[in-house]
């Protein structure tokens, strides 16, 4: 826990230092919304909406809504017959964060530290004739936190964006939380 | 982009100090008994295993001690040893001999009951190694109690699958089973078939079983079914625990702690 708090502090301190006496073109307050579609490294598709707002020079705050759903059956991953066993899971995450924007208006990088609640839902059913129980369901909330990188290319009323999300605590089994997505962004306030 | 160099120097220095402070460690050392390590060659699996043993801190040649065998010893032996010592002290119970069996990169051979895309079905041969080579060695060289009721087996994931395999197919070796996130889904739930086939024989034996699962892991349905089956056994002390907010791999160590708490709570001394 100390290590991750230290990462947060480092990012905040460095973002403040980079914002001082900066002559980057990104000095005016601006906000944008970016919608992206992507995947994690195993089996979930992700749909995200990211709203960013520059509050001071290169400092930006953001909120992201993320919906993810499994698109592979367990039978495609492990030795379970897909005909007999079905497993569906989806997540809803609402993250809030702060970070720094580096670059020019037409081409820039946004580095954010994000955190927020995540809702997880799992439903499993089977129709094995020799097994008695039919289904199980799990629904729970838990915290989610990580780094979000967003690349912006373009200056028009819409622009190309790609995003990479990496959770804190990658090891041992949060590698599935790494998400890469692409989409379109729209300036809201210029 | 022009930045303030002095400001950058200061912030980078502060960043470095923060990193150093974040890695400051507290002393969590545990005073356990003597530890021993050796290798064993198996004629059944044709492989060599690194074995680690932690003895109770009051180990005496005039006493006999119960034993916990830990699968995936290279991952979990240290944690099982420390927690076994700590929890037994907390509950004023006699600590036990902990044996760690390193998997020697063979876990999906030795722990798998049948051949599939994930495993090679070597569990029967590995069981012969445990029964005819490892347990006799431990009981000859250390003050280990030689009765079934004095032996426990602990495994996570594929190790949990193998512990479940021992429960269903070789129930005379161990009386205490810790199956942590066991891969009961393996080969379309073949363990459920084994349980049903051997139930009439196994349900007569007095035994302790602890099953854990991670709240966020898939294939929980199979673990639930296995637990529900064992609830029908008359002679069983059964524990079922969900590690909240954890996924499969990160649930292992919390599950080990809960398993040992459950186990030592049941012991008379």
In a domain, B29, yes or no: yes
CB-nearest partner of A74 from B1, B118, B218: B218
A98 pLDDT higher than 60 = yes
CATH code: domain of residue B13: 3.40.50.1820
Which chain B residues are Cβ-neighbours of A85 within 8 angstroms? Answer: 185, 188, 221
Say which range, B76-80, B117-121, B132-136, has the weakest mean pLDDT.
B117-121
Size of interface A-B (CB pairs under 8 A): 118
CB-nearest partner of B1 from A23, A122, A130: A23
Which chain B residues are Cβ-neighbours of A18 within 8 angstroms? Answer: 1, 3, 8
CB-nearest partner of A138 from B116, B215, B225: B215
In a domain, B213, yes or no: yes
Distance (Å, whole) CA B111 – CA B122: 7
Q: Which domain holds residue B159?
A: 9-266
CB-nearest partner of A122 from B185, B193, B218: B218
Band of pLDDT at residue A20, cut at 50, 70 and 90: very low
| Chosen from B113, B216, B227 to mutate, greatest number of chain A CBs within 10 A | B216
Which residue is listed with tokens 């919608």? A35
* pLDDT > 70 in chain B, percent: 88
- Is the bond leading into A5 cis (omega within 30 degrees of zero)? no
B73-90 vs B252-266: helix crossing angle, rounded to 10: 40
pLDDT attached to residue A11: 55
Phi-psi region of B72 (alpha: psi -120 to 50; beta: other; left: phi over 0): left
Say which range, A101-105, A159-163, B232-236, B253-257, has the weakest mean pLDDT.
A101-105
In a domain, B151, yes or no: yes
Regarding predicted confidence, which is higher, B96 or A57? B96
- Give the mean model confidence (pLDDT) for residues A95-118: 94
Q: Smallest CA–CA separation between B82 and chain A, in Å? A: 21
Q: How many domains does the structure of chain B reveal?
A: 1
* pLDDT > 90 in chain A, percent: 51
Note whether B254 contacts A: Cβ–Cβ < 8 A.
no
Among residues A100, A105, A111, A107, the alpha carbon closest in space to that of A163 is found at: A111
A134 pLDDT higher than 90 = no
CB-nearest partner of A131 from B218, B219, B225: B225
Note whether A141 contacts B: Cβ–Cβ < 8 A.
no
CA-to-CA dists, residue B144 to B38, B97, B139, B147, B161, angstroms: 17, 7, 5, 9, 25
Say which range, A112-116, B8-12, B82-86, B246-250, has the weakest mean pLDDT.
B8-12
Which chain B residues are Cβ-neighbours of A5 within 8 angstroms? Answer: 22
Note whether B11 contacts A: Cβ–Cβ < 8 A.
yes
Tens digits of per-residue pLDDT, A21-66? Answer: 444 444 455 789 999 999 998 788 999 999 999 988 889 999 999 9
Distance (Å, whole) CA B57 – CA B80: 15
Cβ separation B2–A21 shorter than 8 A: yes
Note whether B248 contacts A: Cβ–Cβ < 8 A.
yes
CB contact residues (below 8 A), chain B span 119-158, against chain A:
none
Task: State the virtual CA torsion across B181, B183, B185, B189 in degrees, nearest 10.
Answer: -120
In a domain, B1, yes or no: no
**In this structure, what DSSP letter does residue B56 have?**
-
The answer to whether the beta carbons of residues B103 and B71 sit under 8 Å apart is yes
Note whether A81 contacts B: Cβ–Cβ < 8 A.
yes
Nearest-Cα residue of chain B relative to residue A177: B247
Note whether A25 contacts B: Cβ–Cβ < 8 A.
no
Cβ separation B221–A173 shorter than 8 A: no
Tokens representing A18? 């980079």
């Amino acid at each position: 826990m100390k290590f991750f708090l230290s990462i947060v502090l480092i990012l905040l301190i460095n973002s403040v230092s980079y914002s001082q006496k900066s002559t980057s073109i990104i000095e005016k307050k601006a906000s944008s919304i970016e919608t992206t579609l992507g995947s994690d490294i195993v089996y979930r598709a992700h749909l995200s909406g990211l709203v960013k707002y520059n509050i001071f020079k290169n400092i930006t705050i953001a909120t992201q809504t993320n919906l993810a759903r499994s698109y592979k059956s367990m039978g495609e991953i492990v030795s379970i017959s897909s005909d007999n066993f079905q497993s569906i899971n989806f997540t809803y995450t609402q993250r809030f964060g702060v970070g720094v924007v580096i670059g020019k208006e037409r081409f820039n990088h946004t580095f954010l530290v994000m955190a927020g609640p995540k809702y997880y839902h799992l439903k499993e059913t089977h129709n094995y004739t020799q097994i008695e129980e039919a289904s199980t369901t799990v629904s729970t909330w838990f915290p989610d936190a990580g780094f979000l990188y967003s690349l912006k290319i373009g200056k028009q009323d819409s622009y190309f964006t790609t995003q990479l999300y990496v959770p804190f605590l990658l090891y041992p089994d949060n590698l599935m939380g790494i998400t890469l997505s692409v989409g379109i962004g729209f300036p809201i306030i210029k | 982009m022009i930045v303030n160099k002095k400001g950058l120097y200061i912030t980078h220095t502060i960043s470095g100090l923060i990193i150093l402070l974040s890695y400051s460690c507290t002393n969590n050392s545990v005073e356990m008994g003597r530890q021993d390590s050796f290798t064993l060659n198996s004629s059944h699996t044709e492989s060599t295993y690194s074995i680690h043993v932690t003895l109770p801190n009051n180990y005496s040649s005039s006493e006999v001690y119960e034993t916990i065998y830990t699968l995936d010893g290279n991952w979990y032996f240290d944690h099982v040893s420390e927690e076994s010592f700590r929890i037994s002290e907390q509950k004023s119970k006699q600590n036990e001999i902990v044996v760690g069996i390193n998997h020697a990169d063979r876990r999906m051979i030795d722990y798998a009951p049948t051949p599939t895309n994930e495993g090679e079905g070597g569990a029967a041969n590995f069981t012969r190694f445990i029964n005819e080579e490892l347990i006799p060695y431990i009981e000859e060289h250390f003050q280990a109690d030689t009765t079934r009721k004095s032996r426990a087996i602990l495994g996570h994931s594929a190790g949990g699958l193998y512990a479940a395999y021992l429960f269903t197919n070789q129930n005379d070796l161990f009386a205490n089973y810790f199956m942590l996130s066991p891969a009961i889904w393996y080969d379309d739930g073949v363990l459920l078939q084994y349980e049903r086939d051997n139930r009439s024989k196994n349900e007569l034996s007095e035994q302790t079983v602890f099953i854990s699962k991670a709240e966020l892991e898939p294939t929980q349905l199979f673990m639930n079914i296995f637990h529900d089956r064992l609830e029908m056994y008359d002679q069983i002390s059964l524990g079922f625990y969900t590690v909240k907010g954890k996924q499969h791999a990160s649930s292992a160590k919390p599950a080990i702690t809960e398993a040992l708490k459950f186990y030592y709570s049941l012991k008379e001394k």
